[in-house]
Structure 1
Amino acid sequence: MKISVIGSGYVGLVTGTGFVKLGNEVIFVDVDERKVEMINNAQPPIYEEGLEELMKQFKGKYHATKDYRKAILNSDVTFICVGTPSREDGSIDLTYVKQVAKELGKALREKKNYHVVVVKSTVLPGTTEEIVKPILENYSDKKAFQDFGLAMNPEFLREGIALSDFLNPDRIVIGVQDERAKRVLEELYAPINAPKLFTDIKTAEMIKYASNAFLATKISFANEIGNICKKLGIDSWKVFEGVGLDHRISPHFFRTGIGWGGSCFPKDTRALIRKAEELGEEPLILKAVVEVNERQPLKLIELLKKHIPELKGKTIGVLGLAFKPDTDDVRETRAHVVVKKLLEEEARVIAYDPQAMENFKRFYPDVGENIEYASSGEEVLNRSDAVLIVTEWSEFEELDYSGKIVIDGRRVRKAEETAKVYEGVCW
């Protein structure tokens, strides 16, 4: 098929490249001239393992443009993959989604053939039908589910292994109302061997939020138990190894540490809380999940001050700035919370991350001599009074932590084995 993908961030670029690998032709649409140019030169504007190789391999099967009209008129299916960032009150900002719907509607007005519009951006239940649909109909002068198809297809991609997740998913969820759109999406996803769940549109939207909220809950639960285990001298990882053997529970997402970040869990959990409150519900569990997660990274500082009570003037190393390994994404990273606290304590910070340092610099563009970035993990160890491990990059397992005070938020085994003083957050 001929597919257009609006938005070329993590979701859009991975989705489009995945569809190219499955034998389709893809047009990426983005308002950012730099991204368009990079994609057309087979250079991904984000870091995602395996993405650049795949883009080079299939160069010629895709291209990028800023022209909505050209993309829609030359494709059969359009995926909306733009961001839905959080507002200060936790609700989601639909500005980009609305802008895209408007441009899509204008292009659909000119189109004679049946076209399917698929919302892949994470939006709250009711958004596709109550906000996207009226805009599309107004600007196209056409009727959804009759003149054009409209569906909701949430993404379940994990940064760092997103391409693998796209091609080998646990499930594919498609919210759809008209049979014609359903057949198109069945055909599009036919090459992927995974359970395919067809629902109504609002249910598909809710599945995404419920999934992320539960995974966030599982991590915060593990961390709360881990904090208790720490005070009892119990290894929480061994506890959850035992808990996870129960087939009703499973071992996944029980890695205790300093909590979750990224572009999905924080935003989606807050948005669901806000929506629940608007509906007159009190989401007690979800609020507790967020509260535990906000406190958790500060456990690193608490443990550090057991060994260095006065941090003023001390040089503290920070290993890892991305919210998780194998990505350059620093959205809601726990490193931001940790570094902010260290600077408030008037410590000097020397930080290193294999991919995320440039992105992290936007948090502290003018701090000057109080924060600097190292060229390697070894440099951090050599120049610091103590080290905090914030992201579990595999290369940190290759370092020698001898003679160092290490406060570990992610359980790097080499640090546990070699550090002079070792403290794990939850173990």
Structure 2
Amino acid sequence: MDISVIGSGYVGTTIAACFADLGHSVVNIDVDADVVEAINAGDTLIHEEGLPELVAKHAGENGTGRLRATTNYEALLETDVTFLCLPTPQYDDGSIDLSIIETGAEQLGETLKGKSGWHTVVVKSTVVPGTTDDVLTPIIESASGRTAGEDVGVGMNPEFLREGTAVTDFLDPDKIVLGADDERTRRDMQEVFAPLEAETGAPVVETDTRTAEMIKYANNAFLATKVSLINDLGNICKEFGIDAYEVADAIGLDDRISEQFLRSGVGWGGSCFPKDVAAIIAAAKANDYEPTVLEAAVELNDKQPERLLELLDSHVDVEGERVAVLGLAFKPGTDDTRNSRAIEVIEGLQARGARVVGYDPVATENMRERFPDVTYAESAAEALEGAVGAVVVTDWDEFAALDDGFEAMKELVVVDGRRIIEPTPKITYEGLTW
């Protein structure tokens, strides 16, 4: 099938490369000429495991030719289905800013004036329930002069891609959600995902657009709340001198709970959980509903970095002293620092007068943009040298292998927010929730 993907960011590039790998012919449309040039050279500017290999496999001179990129919207006229993968950033009140995707939808509609016959548009961006039907569809109809359900289809296919495992998540999904309000749109979406369904046997959820939009928010809100709950339980365990991980291992054996997302620690961050939970809270409040549990989940998550620092305070006075922050990305396997717990940790250390030294295998430059005054080390060992304390914020595997690296510290105090460090008699070790 001929597919166009508008937006070549993290989601857009990933799904474009994966669709090409499933045998579709894909054109990625983006306003950034540098991004387009990279893709056409068989390269990507995005740090994501397995993605550079997929782009190289299908784009560029040595690729299969099933993936290309352009800045020209008219390329979508040669395709059957267009996926909208544009950013929906967050306002201060948590609600989402639709201006970028609205502009993209209008440009898409204007372009469709030049095409005869049916075209299907699928919203891939995360938007609150009702956005596809009430906001984006009218824009596309007005700009194209077409009527939804008659000569243009508009559907919704939420993404469930975790940074660091996005390619695997797409090619081996736990579910495929197809939201459509007319039969022809649904058939086109079925055809797009038929190779993936046949290859993986993943369950397909067919529903309307509003429900599809809500499934994405419900998914992330549930998982974020689960993390906050296990952190709350972990905090209680620490007060009783109980290993929270041992408790989590036991309750995870209950198939009603499962073991996933039961690793207590410094909390959740990134581009999805904070944004999606805040957006659905804002949407609920706009409809005069108070989402008490979700608000409590956010409140507890916001407290975890300060809890980590209080544990450090109980052992050392960091004012004027060097403190190592190990891990700057919000999770291992990515260079993304958006909503990283390291941000609050660094801010808290600076407020205490500490001299912060940060280290991350891949995310240093992204964090440097936010904290240019922080010192950044080339290795974890360098960050630890002469430090009176170390806080572990991201569970990169290399931190588990530091061993004697801690002996270069001025004071061997380690507060581990991810349970990645193996305690030894030489180290004054504190786990965040154990």
Alignment TM-score, normalising by the size of structure 1: 0.96
Q: CA deviation at 1:24?
A: 1.1
Partner of residue 286, structure 2: 278
Q: 1:200 and 1:302, CA in 2 relative to 1: closer, same or farther beyond 3 A?
A: same
Residue deviations 1:303-341, cap 9 Å, x none? 111111x22111000111000000011111101110111
Using the TM superposition, give the Cα deviation of residue 419 of structure 1 relative to its aligned residue in structure 2, in angstroms. 5.5
Q: 1:379 aligns with which of 377, 382, 386?
A: 382
- Is the CA contact 1:151–1:201 (under 8 Å) kept in the aligned structure 2? yes
Equivalent position SS for 2:154: strand
> What is the CA–CA distance in structure 2 between the aligned matches of 1:405 and 1:140, rounded to whole Å?
63
Contact 1:16 1:28 in 2 (8 A): yes
The amino acid across from 2:297 in the alignment is V
Q: Aligned pair 1:140/2:105, yes or no?
A: no
Q: Pick which of 143-152 and 29-38 moved more.
A: 29-38
* Aligned match for 1:152, one of 149, 156, 178: 156
- Establish whether residue 61 from structure 1 lines up as the match of residue 66 from structure 2: yes
Name whichever of 350-359 and 374-383 sits farther off: 374-383
- Other-structure match for 1:391: 394
5+ residue gaps in structure 1?
none
Matched AA of 2:396: W
CA change 1:104–1:312 in 2 (3 A) is same
**1:339-378 to 2 correspondence within 5 Å?**
339-365=346-372, 367=373, 371-378=374-381
What is the correspondence of 1:117-266 to structure 2 with a 5 Å cutoff?
117-192=121-196, 193=200, 194-266=202-274
Give 3-state SS (helix, strand or coil) of 1:118's partner. Answer: strand
Q: Which amino acid aligns with 2:330?
A: F
Provide the C-alpha distance between the structure 1 equivalents of 2:341 and 2:104, rounded to a whole number of angstroms.
32
The farther-off stretch of 128-137 and 397-406 is 397-406
Partner residue, 1:287: 295
> Which of 115, 119, 138 is the equivalent residue of 1:115?
119
Are the aligned partners of 1:402 and 1:418 in contact in 2 as well (CA < 8 Å)? no
The amino acid across from 1:61 in the alignment is R
> Which runs of no fewer than 5 residues in structure 2 stay unpaired?
60-64
Which residue is 2:21 aligned to? 21
Query: Could you tell me which residue of structure 2 aligns to residue 37 of structure 1?
Result: 37
Written as runs of structure 1 = structure 2, the 5 A alignment for 1:261-340 is 261-308=269-316, 310-340=317-347
1:14-73: CA deviation from partner (whole Å, max 9, x where unpaired): 11111011011111111222212222222211100111111112223211111112x211
1:191 counterpart SS class = helix
Number of aligned residue pairs: give it. 420
Kept after mapping to 2: 8 A contact 1:405/1:419 = no
Aligned partner (choices 78, 82, 105) of residue 78 of structure 1? 82
- Higher mean displacement: 174-183 or 158-167: 174-183
The answer (yes or no) to whether the contact 2:381–2:406 under 8 Å persists in 1 is no
Q: Do the aligned residues in 2 keep the contact of 1:76 with 1:116 (CA within 8 Å)?
A: yes
Counterpart of 2:62 in structure 1 is none
What secondary structure is seen at the aligned counterpart in 1 of 2:429? strand
Q: Write the letter of the residue equivalent to 1:396.
A: F
Counterparts in 2 of 1:270 and 1:217: CA distance versus 1, 3 Å: same
The separation in 1 between residues aligned to 2:44 and 2:402, in whole angstroms, is 30
Work out the CA distance in 2 between the residues paired with 1:311 and 1:347.
Answer: 5
Structure 2 distance, partners of 1:305, 1:51, is 42
Structure 2 CA distance for aligned equivalents of residues 262 and 113 of structure 1: 41
Q: Secondary structure at the match of 2:266?
A: coil
* Separation in structure 1 between the aligned mates of residue 72 and residue 140 of structure 2, nearest angstrom: 17
Which amino acid in structure 1 is aligned with residue 21 of structure 2? K
Q: Does the Cα contact within 8 Å between 2:384 and 2:406 map onto a contact in 1?
A: no
SS of the residue corresponding to residue 296 of structure 1 reads helix
Corresponding residue SS for 1:307: coil
Residues of 1 paired with 2:240 and 2:418: CA distance? 19
Asked if 2 retains the 8 angstrom alpha-carbon contact of 1:149 and 1:178, the reply is yes
The alpha-carbon deviation at position 281 of structure 1 amounts to 0.7
Question: One-letter code of the match for 2:397?
Answer: S
Q: CA deviation at 1:219?
A: 0.3
| RMSD, aligned α-carbons | 1.2
Contact kept, 8 Å, 2:359 with 2:379, in 1: the verdict is yes
- Paired with 1:156 and 1:45, the residues of 2 have a C-alpha distance of 21
Quick one: distance in 2 between partners of 1:395 and 1:114? 52
Name the aligned partner's letter for residue 202 of structure 1: R
